[in-house]
Chains A and B, each alone.
Chain A
Amino acid sequence: MSSESNDHRAHSDLVELLDLRIPGDAEAISRVTDSVLATLSELQVPEEKRLDIALAVQEALANAVVHGCKNDSSKEVRCRLKRDRDGRVLIIITDPGPGFSLEHRPDPKSPAHMYADHGRGVYLICQLMDEVQFEKGGREIRMWKF
C-alpha cells in the first residue's frame, strides 16, 4: 500500500464502467456495492474476485460515509469502476471530508484490539485488493484488483 500518487498505468488504457454518486448515508452504500457486483458479473469476473472487490468497495464506502461525510446525507461520495485491457479493475472512491492519516492506526490483529468493534476497514481493504493508494490527504482511495 502506498500513499504516494504513483498510478503508472496510462489513463487511456482504462475504460470507465461505473460512475456513481451517493449521499453520505449508510443505507445508500448497498446500491453501489450491488451495482459493482452486477457489473463485474456481466464482465464474467470470477466469483471470488467479484466478492473481494465488492467487500473492499463496501468498506471504502463505509469509511467515506462515516468519516468523510460524518453520516451527513447532504454530502456526497463518488465511486468509479474502471477496467484496463488486461482485465485489471480499478475502483476510485472519493469523499468531501478532511482526509485522514495512515500513520498511528492500530493493528486490528493485535491482542489489544482483537475484541474491538471497529477499526478493521482499511486493514481489510489492503488484504482484499492487490494495490491500494490513498490520495488527496486520504479523501480518495484507489484500489486495484489484478
Chain B
Amino acid sequence: MDINVRKRSEVQVIQLRGALRLGSAVDELRQVMEEAVGNGDTRLVVNLSEVPMIDSSGIGLLVRFLASTKQRGGSIKLVQPSKFAVQTLRLVGVLNLFEIFDDDDKAISSFA
C-alpha cells in the first residue's frame, strides 16, 4: 500500500492507495499515525478513495486511533470510502463512529 502524508491547515491528510489489511499495509499506517499523534497532530483525515478493501485489522487500527485522537481533542475523519468499505464498517458496527466526507477540503474544514 502507498501512503502519502501532507499537512494542510494544521490537519494531517493521509492518502492511501491499495488494500488496508493485515501485514505491511496496516503496520505502515500504524507507524504514520503513531508519529502524527506523537508529534501532537491529533487532527487526521484519511482519504480512502483508492482503497478497495479494508479488513478487520485495518478497521481495528482506524478505530483505535479514532479513540486515541478524540481523547486528545482531535479526531480521524474519512474521505470517500468505497461502497464496499462502507458496507464493511457498517457490518462490524463502527460506521457511525466516523464522520465521512466527499473530499479532503470538506473534511479539513470540519475541524474548524
Contacts and interface: CB of A to CB of B under 8 A. Distances in A.
Interface of A: 26-27, 29-30, 33, 48, 51, 54-55, 58-59, 62, 65-66, 108-109, 114-121, 123-124, 127-128
Residues of A contacting B: mostly: helix
Interface residues of B, number: 24
Residues of B contacting A: mostly: helix
B32 interface: no
Contact of B55 (A27, A58, A109, A116): A58
A128 B87 CA distance: 10
Nearest to A109: B93
Contacts of A65: 22
Nearest to A56: B55
B22 A117 contact: no
A38 to B, nearest CB: 14
A34 to B, nearest CB: 9
B51 interface: no
26 contacts: A26-B23, A27-B24, A29-B22, A30-B19, A30-B23, A51-B52, A58-B21, A58-B53, A62-B57, A66-B22, A108-B92, A109-B92, A109-B93, A115-B97, A116-B63, A117-B61, A117-B63, A118-B57, A118-B60, A119-B60, A120-B60, A121-B55, A121-B56, A124-B55, A124-B56, A128-B91
A112 B53 CA distance: 26
B3 interface: no
Contacts of A120: 56, 59-60, 92
The 7 closest A-B pairs by CB, nearest first: A109-B93, A117-B60, A26-B23, A120-B56, A117-B64, A115-B67, A127-B91
Given A29-B23, A116-B63, A117-B64, 8 more contacts: A26-B24, A30-B19, A33-B21, A54-B53, A114-B63, A115-B66, A117-B63, A127-B92
